[in-house]
Amino acid sequence: MLLAISLILAAAVHGQITVTTPECVSFDTLHNRYLVSSFTSGSIAQIDSNGQVSTFTSGLGRAYSHQIVDTLIYISSGHSIEAFSLNTAEVAKFIPIVGSVQLDGMAADTSGNLYVTDYTYGDPNPDRIYKIQLSDDFYSVFITETDGLSVIPQDIIFDAKFNRLLVVGYSPNAPIQAISLPDGTITNVADPPVGNFDGIAMDRYRNVYISSWNPNTVYRYDSNFTQPPELLYTGARGVANISVNNRDNILALPLFDLNQVVFYDLNLQLRSDTTYGWAPLNILFEGSTIHPVSQWNWDFGDGGSSLEQSPNHLFETPGIHNVTAQIDVEGGGTYSEALSVYILADSLTALDAEGDPGAQVEVVINARNNAPLNKLVIPVVYSGTLNLHLDSASTAGCRSAAMDHFAKTYADSLNWKVEYTVWNDAASPNDLNPGYGPILKLYFTISSLAEYGQISTITLEGFSARLPKFYGPNFNYQVRTQPGEVSTPGVCGDANSDMSVNIKDITFLINYLYKSGPPPATPDLADVNNSGNVNIQDVTFLITHLYKGGAAPNCS
């Protein structure tokens, strides 16, 4: 069994928005919108509550990080900091930082100061963090690499409880560092399992989130960095400068390489160790939340339930099951979340067919699928003693007839092998719905030299690297198969074609030979002595066989 899967661990992704090369995102509480730095276009996009994207401001050259302070948004554009009014989008300040190389991540404390990282790319000056007094825009170097700052400082946040900055860097083994604002003391507070960090954020409960490009992941630490980090999100390229909308508990993830901003609900997250497999299937679910919970309640969509936070459940019924979890929060309030799992009992089956030598037969291929499919790959081997010739194939009248494309994708007639593929275009509405029935019809001609009682087997299990596979929106897998047969099932001696040998066949032959009766439909079956001709000797042979214990008919 071959399984292939591309999973994003987080099930609580609540939408994604297209923005060109998003580098940084933050939530503007005053105007109920997200503001996103578009790096290559040098602009700031705004995403309103309906998910509509428009331009807040442009013409920055490059747009790195930004920080909202009161009614202004401060934007780092490489060598300067520009501030714009959140109300009017007009320029309010321009602060050139002389000697800077790449100003990037920013944070603001509660004392009227703005901090910004500067990675110097081997400049004679070491990597550093600048401090800007917003009252008069006076800036100075606050801390540098020579003071113990980790190289390539990428992003920072302000931790008000301890009056400190938390810093992450883009080096492969970068620690999470805490910098005391009163005295500049630097402490390594965590050594994450990955590196090359682009973003750091903090939620209302002081949980800390870090985003890495190597590999592309987001981890969450508890507020005191006492527990191992929790892998929160993986699978998307270029997770850049993240932030938390603390009003709604939404983690905003700018995916630089994918031109998307993904919004991840922190109130409740559900994960599973897989999202599909063959029945019966045991799946481990994990629930996670930033809230103190008084009650967990899982509904697995098949009649099963659990009160555990991270339960196991055995699925025995094939189909799509919508799994939901609800939490009751201490102090009041509830949150719910859902994910879907696909329990498979899928198959490809070749139905049997019968025909005479030289005749054409139709072989129907049935499919059972318990989840929607947008592509089916059907390899066929049709070898055997009938020496079948493949004439054609069709999806007419089949469940797959409405799919966008049908093609022969491989053929080797000398070895009786062929492959057909049925598939849809991207975003097509014509996916094959769950069900059972025909998805392909094959038309073969049986060799005229074939003999009765011979068969050819129609197998669907695949050959070489060509395997029977079903593709769904989120997964693909090798499907189970059942072979069929094409046969010439005639009964030797059955001259009148009623599938039995008796006195009626003797009468039929006498009428044919001597009373101008109709000829046998299959002369070979009437030639019971295998002489090559149908004559009185065959009548005598049948009489001897049926009434005198003579030899059995031989038509081969």
Distance of CA 486 to the CA centre of its chain: 38
Average pLDDT of the chain?
92
- Is residue 5 scored above 80 in pLDDT? no
45 bridge partner residues: 36, 55
Lowest mean pLDDT among 38-42, 68-72, 121-125, 309-313: 121-125
Identify how many contiguous H helices and E strands the chain contains and give both numbers: 3, 46
Highest mean pLDDT among 222-226, 236-240, 480-484: 480-484
Q: DSSP E strands: which ranges in 395-540? A: 405-412, 417-423, 435-445, 455-458, 469-471, 475-478, 480-482, 484-487
441 bridge partner residues: 364, 394
336 bridge partner residues: 326
Q: Once rounded to an integer, what is the mean pLDDT over residues 63-76?
A: 96
Lowest mean pLDDT among 173-177, 279-283, 452-456, 462-466: 452-456
Contacts made by residues 95-101, CB under 8 angstroms, sequence distance 24+:
95/132, 95/137, 95/139, 97/130, 97/139, 99/125, 100/130
Q: Once rounded to an integer, what is the mean pLDDT over residues 85-93?
A: 97
Structure tokens at 67: 């920080």
Which tens digit of pLDDT belongs to each residue from 408-442? 999 999 999 999 999 999 889 999 999 999 999 99
Band of residue 15 on the pLDDT scale cut at 50, 70, 90? low
- Is residue 7 scored above 80 in pLDDT? no
Percentage of residues in the chain having pLDDT higher than 70: 97
Which tens digit of pLDDT belongs to each residue from 93-121? 999 999 999 999 999 999 999 999 999 88
Nearest to 203 by CA among 246, 239, 267: 246
Per-residue confidence (pLDDT) for residue 43, from 0 to 100: 94
Structure tokens at 388: 């079948």
Per-residue confidence (pLDDT) for residue 10, from 0 to 100: 35
Per-residue confidence (pLDDT) for residue 67, from 0 to 100: 97
Lowest mean pLDDT among 64-73, 213-222, 384-393: 213-222
In angstroms, the CA 10 to CA 209 distance is: 14
Lowest mean pLDDT among 26-30, 155-159, 369-373: 369-373
- Residue listed under structure tokens 């989840």: 371
Lowest mean pLDDT among 13-22, 427-436, 489-498: 13-22
Per-residue confidence (pLDDT) for residue 4, from 0 to 100: 29
Asked if 296 and 335 count as a contact pair (C-beta separation under 8 A), the reply is no
Per-residue confidence (pLDDT) for residue 6, from 0 to 100: 27
- Is residue 357 scored above 50 in pLDDT? yes
- In order of their start, the domains of the chain are 11-266 (2.120.10.30), 270-344 (2.60.40.10), 347-487 (2.60.40.680), 491-556 (1.10.1330.10)
In angstroms, the CA 13 to CA 267 distance is: 11
Percentage of residues in the chain having pLDDT higher than 90: 78
Question: At what angle are helices 503-514 and 536-547 packed, to 10 degrees?
Answer: 160
Per-residue confidence (pLDDT) for residue 3, from 0 to 100: 32
- Is residue 12 scored above 70 in pLDDT? no
Q: Once rounded to an integer, what is the mean pLDDT over residues 340-357?
A: 93
Per-residue confidence (pLDDT) for residue 125, from 0 to 100: 85
Q: Once rounded to an integer, what is the mean pLDDT over residues 169-181?
A: 95
Per-residue confidence (pLDDT) for residue 9, from 0 to 100: 33
